[in-house]
Amino acid sequence: MPSLRDTISVFRIHLARLRAEGGPFLLAALVFPTAMYLFANAIRGDAAEEQNRFRFLAGSIVFSLSLTAISWLGYLLLENRFAGRLKLFATLPLAPSSYVFGILIFGVAQSILGSSALLIVARLLGARTQLGVLPLTATILLTMLCLSGISVIIATRARSFSEGSLLTDSLGAGLVFLAPVYYSPEAMPPALRMVSEWLPTARAAHAVQAALAGNYATKDLAILGAMAIVSLSLGFKLMRFREN
């Protein structure tokens, strides 16, 4: 069973990482998604409708979440494993779930930081929203849990650091661009459309878009919750401090 004290200690250990490497983190979580927001708006031209602007902003928030949860957290988990730090945790009377929860809290804290910064930038760029703080917080939390579960799975199964980081990098960006986040579903081939609708990033984009209008996308949140349960359950099952 996870212990609150152990979970907080794991979180604090990783928070020191953010203290030391905050710059590169902001670059990943803010600059890329902001650039994508500007790029998508520019492609649509000045006549971009308010609805599209919302979609692009929602897409950029999801992009930021995906980069934080899969690329960055995944990298961290892989580094802990392949640089021998996981071995250090394994010497302690620490439940693997405390370790995972500590990392998850760290990821959620980062995602809130990244999303808030992105909303401020979007506001400065003229985007007007009727933001629902609670719907957005719920969406961020569920999206992060779901995508972080994927990171945990990759970090436990990868045979090498390079294999794992290739996967996290590919999925961090790929899951966003394969979902109808920056473009409408109609622009996709029909077969891919069916699949992409069930990607967590697609559900997250719907939910963020609704949250930006002050609404709850109940169905999308429920699906994200179910996906989070599946991915985290698998991640917890695979995370072992004892080798066979």
| Residue 19 beta carbon to other proteins: minimum distance, rounded to whole angstroms | 7
Count of residues interacting with other proteins (CB under 8 A): 26
Nearer to other proteins, 19 or 159 (CB): 19
Contact between 12 and other proteins by CB under 8 A: the answer reads yes
Q: For residue 214, what are its two tokens?
A: 């002050």
The DSSP line for 33-102 is HHHHHHHHHHHH-TT--HHHHHHHHHHHHHHHHHIIIIIIHHHHHHHHHHTTHHHHHHTSS--HHHHHHH
| Residue 21 beta carbon to other proteins: minimum distance, rounded to whole angstroms | 7
Q: How far apart are CA 174 and CA 178, in angstroms?
A: 6
Q: Going by C-beta distance under 8 Å and a sequence separation of 6 or more, which residues neighbour residue 43?
A: none
Pick one of 87, 123, 128, 237: the residue that binds other proteins (CB under 8 A).
87
CA proximity to 196, closest of 205, 169, 73: 205
* Helices marked H in 91-179: 96-124, 133-157, 161-177
Contact between 126 and other proteins by CB under 8 A: the answer reads no
| Residue 190 beta carbon to other proteins: minimum distance, rounded to whole angstroms | 44
Contact between 88 and other proteins by CB under 8 A: the answer reads yes
Nearer to other proteins, 43 or 92 (CB): 92
Please state at what angle helix 96-124 crosses helix 73-82, rounded to 10 degrees. Answer: 150
List the x/- string, 48-67, binding to other proteins by CB under 8 A. Answer: --------------------
Contact between 159 and other proteins by CB under 8 A: the answer reads no
| Residue 16 beta carbon to other proteins: minimum distance, rounded to whole angstroms | 5
Nearer to other proteins, 16 or 191 (CB): 16
Contact between 13 and other proteins by CB under 8 A: the answer reads yes
Nearer to other proteins, 91 or 189 (CB): 91
Pick one of 26, 48, 90, 213: the residue that binds other proteins (CB under 8 A).
90
Buried b (16+ CB within 10 A) or exposed e, 102-132: bbbbbbbbbbbbbbebbbebbeeeebebeeb
CA proximity to 164, closest of 45, 27, 70: 70
Contact between 237 and other proteins by CB under 8 A: the answer reads no
| Residue 114 beta carbon to other proteins: minimum distance, rounded to whole angstroms | 19
Three-class SS string for 188-238? Answer: CCHHHHHHHCCCHHHHHHHHHHHHHCCCCCHHHHHHHHHHHHHHHHHHHHH
Nearer to other proteins, 3 or 137 (CB): 3
Provide the binding-site residues for other proteins, judged by CB under 8 A.
5-6, 9, 12-13, 16-17, 19-21, 80, 83-85, 87-88, 90-95, 241-244
